[in-house]
Amino acid sequence: MKNSIREVSLYLLPLLILFAISCESSEVPDTNDVVEHRKSPIVISSITHEDTYVKIVYGQPYKRGRDIFGGLEPFGEVWRTGANEATEITLTNDFYLDGNRVEAGTYSLFSIPEPDEWTIILNHQLGQWGAFNYDRNYDYLRFQRPVIETEEVVEALIITFGESDDYDSLLILSWDDTRVEIPVEFI
């Protein structure tokens, strides 16, 4: 009997060591470590109009000497409209975006850059990393906006709200030598 216990323990010891090693290597990384090591900072743009609050949260990539549209961000492909997670827009009340009524809620904001026009997309899938799992079946809204070439190069992507003579505000996307303006009207 002593021999069989000794034999079993000789077989179990290596298995226990392998089990301990596999448990150690499957530790989940600390989310704070991932966030702290991002190359693109998280930025929030917002606007308040009467009782409506709109907030956009995005990762802010930098040009760093790269060709952006048609290069880093290929023409004709869905882009997360920022870096890291897909950009998200949250609104507390319905409003109009480029004349399209958007219901209060939170949406992922994607775009498809082209040289002369961008397709702007609001999508129901939230919490996506990039556009790798983008699914058109979850699109809430799609529309096109013309590209405005700028004389000055914008180093870091900027998504902001600006003034307009014709609308309550403009949602402005600017990066490199490209600018896209989207009319905003509050209800």
- What would the pLDDT profile of 145-167 be if each residue is shown by its tens digit? 999 999 999 999 999 999 999 99
Greater confidence, 1 or 99?
99
Residue 15 lies in a domain: no
* pLDDT value, residue 7: 56
Residue 24 lies in a domain: no
Residue 3 lies in a domain: no
| Tens of pLDDT, residues 69-126 | 999 999 999 999 999 999 999 999 999 999 999 999 999 999 999 999 999 999 999 9
CA 62 vs CA 59, 101, 102, 127, 175: distances in Å: 10, 32, 30, 22, 8
* pLDDT value, residue 39: 78
Q: Looking at 50-147, which runs of residues are DSSP E strands?
A: 52-59, 83-91, 95-97, 100-102, 105-112, 117-123, 139-146
Residue 21 lies in a domain: no
pTM for this predicted structure: 0.79
Q: Which range has the worst mean pLDDT, 28-32, 58-62, 69-73, 136-140?
A: 28-32
Q: Where does 2-136 have alpha helices with state H? A: 2-25, 31-36
Residue 14 lies in a domain: no
Residue 23 lies in a domain: no
* pLDDT value, residue 3: 54
What b/e readout covers 116-127, taking b as 16+ CB neighbours within 10 angstroms?
eebbbbbbebee
Residue 134 lies in a domain: yes
Q: How many domains does the chain have?
A: 1
Neighbours of 158 (CB within 10 A): 15
Residue 106 lies in a domain: yes
For 146, the domain range is: 31-186
